[in-house]
Amino acid sequence: MNYITAGESHGPVLTTIVSGVPAGLRISETQINSDLARRQSGYGRGGRQRIEHDQVIVQSGVRFGRTIGSPVTLQIVNKDWEHWRRIMSPFGKPPKDLKREVTPRPGHADLVGALKYDTDDCRDVLERASARETAARVAASGVAREFLSEMGVDISSYVCRIGDVTFEEKNPLEAATSYEPMTIELSSVRCPDERTSKRMEAAIDRAKNAGESLGGEFRVVVKGLVPGLGSYTNAQERLTSKLGGAIFSIPAIKGVEFGAGFAGTHLPGSKFHDPIVQNDTDGFTRLSNNAGGLEGGMTTGMPLIITAAMKPIPTLQHPLQTVNMETMQPAEASRERSDVCAVPACAVVAESEVAFVLANAYLQKFGQDNMTDIKESMHAYLDRVRTQSR
């Protein structure tokens, strides 16, 4: 299962095509739209979110609520396009009053993209480099998430740090699987702790008043995975590398940890590795989960726990120094309409990327033609694994 997205931040639509989708998979517009709304939510978001109310339009691959085996095409209309028709017109001559973007922002793709693609207008770059593109990813992942749900897999996320405010957890790897999704979604910053949520809001307010932006950290938690997805046989087949690459594909991600991550390097092996036990109910399992649900590039059957770090948003209301690409003189970086903090939204996008990697792992393991055969193959595999573990 693969997706490709197209469309600019202020173009008419965002489009995504999802290929390799098995037939017979139930698809819910309501569920996809719910995830799109989650991506738009969060304390510290900017004015664009008050303009757009993202709704998916299914253009192909689904009939009467089920996939038919052909590519699924999804679209999201950009309502802000009405204000950008002249500036983003695909044809005709540029307006005489067109203002080119020539003061690239530090931390953004503006400058390097302009150099790479030989343009004197950074808008050619920033329109596609914008995180607005991730709305199409979230829509596409609705297909993968529906598939994983039928496989018994649940994906969630929560924010554990914004700026200098940290959600203090006694044992994050144990606690991560216990938080109620409703508690997380009712928080304006998608943090399970009400007191920490208020402190995070206050930090965002301070940053906004100072013309600053904030980054942070979040966790993606996946429950219900079967053991043995992925492979150790080739570097490209290791699920660890696929998941890491998928999350690093999100704009602004600067770090990824699995399980105990860097904290595990402070421990001796006897304290880090997870003892193996066996029982008739669960088969082989672990007494702890410092590995975060992955060993040898494969799922262990324990919850998959990934922590990721998002840098502060590059657009600042008190811009940093840059160089005017037209005059080659020092200048202030350009200012776009932007968020102060988008960590809660980024966590939802990360859920989407993780969903695609895991959906592909299931399809590679159990087939991909139709849901009936896939489910039968998975059940046969689980019966063998459980029998073997007795």
Q: Please give the tally of structural domains in the chain.
A: 1
Predicted local confidence at residue 283, as pLDDT:
82
Decide if pLDDT at 388 tops 80: no
The mean pLDDT of 86-95, rounded to a whole number, is: 92
pLDDT tens-place string over residues 311-331: 999 988 889 999 999 999 999
| DSSP E strand stretches across the chain | 2-6, 13-19, 56-60, 62-63, 66-67, 72-77, 154-162, 165-166, 216-223, 253-258, 276-279, 283-286, 294-295, 298-299, 304-310, 321-323, 330-332
Map tokens 């044992």 to a residue.
Answer: 171
For the domain that residue 240 is a member of, what is the CATH number? Answer: 3.60.150.10
pLDDT tens-place string over residues 34-52: 999 999 888 877 665 666 7
In a 10 Å sphere around its CB, with 0-12 CB exposed, 13-18 middle and 19+ buried, how is residue 188 labelled? middle
**Taking a C-beta distance cutoff of 8 angstroms, is the pair 340, 348 a contact?**
no
pLDDT tens-place string over residues 141-200: 999 999 999 999 999 999 999 999 999 999 999 999 999 999 999 999 999 999 999 999
Burial code (b: 16+ CB inside 10 Å, e: under 16) for 330-368 equals: ebebbebebbbbbbbbbbbbbbbbbbbbbbbbbbebbbb
Q: What is the DSSP secondary-structure string of 193-243? A: -HHHHHHHHHHHHHHHHTT--B-EEEEEEEESPPTT-B-SSSGGG-HHHHH
**Taking a C-beta distance cutoff of 8 angstroms, is the pair 220, 154 a contact?**
no
Predicted local confidence at residue 338, as pLDDT:
75
Range of the domain at 372: 2-388
In a 10 Å sphere around its CB, with 0-12 CB exposed, 13-18 middle and 19+ buried, how is residue 271 labelled? exposed
Q: pTM value?
A: 0.94
